[in-house]
Amino acid sequence: MTTAEHDVIDQPLARRPATTPVFAYYPTPAAVTDVLPHLAHLGVPRDLIDVVVTEPAAQRMYSGKKRAMRPLWRFASLGGILGLGGGALVAFVLIAWPGFAAAGPFAYALLFTPMITTFVGALIGVIVSFLTKRKPSDWRLRIPPPDNDEILVVVRARGDEQVNLVLQVLRSQGGTGAQVLR
């Protein structure tokens, strides 16, 4: 399916409409790979596309591939940034503390404090990411799971126009059971 430029949805960042799940089942990873560029051409970001595979199918179709660790990196980077800010704050206090006197051992603390607090903040972020469980959305629980030989592709479309376009793309690219979850 070729999509004209006027079919591409462009939503302002300030007022994004609620998302509506549209899903279809695909027989092979190649079919899923083929549909992703068409969805990107419609303006659907990759973060709004979920690919779900059963455990036996994942071992057969995606063996040797590692899963993305997005929550880990999100928490680690947030912890690192907070640690860097805390280290900078401590360094500023250490600069102001002695006044005009010689720095002495404070010089070493000034040098290493931001690095150590950044590392500790990132480490705390990693630990928090491993202890955090993400509750699935209620719409995820209403979608029928794929069979052992199928891959479920769920697209969270924004707006009615994009819902219809995504449904057309999923059907035209060989998706079976394509439907909108309302």
pLDDT in tens, the chain (182 residues): 444 444 555 555 556 668 889 999 888 888 888 999 999 998 888 888 888 877 776 776 666 666 666 677 778 888 888 888 888 888 777 777 666 666 677 677 777 888 888 888 888 888 888 887 766 666 666 677 777 678 888 898 888 888 899 999 999 988 888 888 87
pTM score above 0.85? no
Pairing mode, strands 19-26 and 176-180: antiparallel
The answer on 149 and 126 residing in a single domain is no
Annotate 55-113 with three-state secondary structure: HHHHHHHCCCCCCCCHHHHHHHHHHHHHHHHHHHHHHHHHHHCCCCCCCCCHHHHHHHH
The residue length of the chain stands at 182
Domain holding 96, by residue range, is: 70-131
CATH for 159 = 3.30.70.2750
Q: Is residue 25 part of a domain?
A: yes
pLDDT value of position 17: 66
Does 84 fall in a domain? Answer: yes
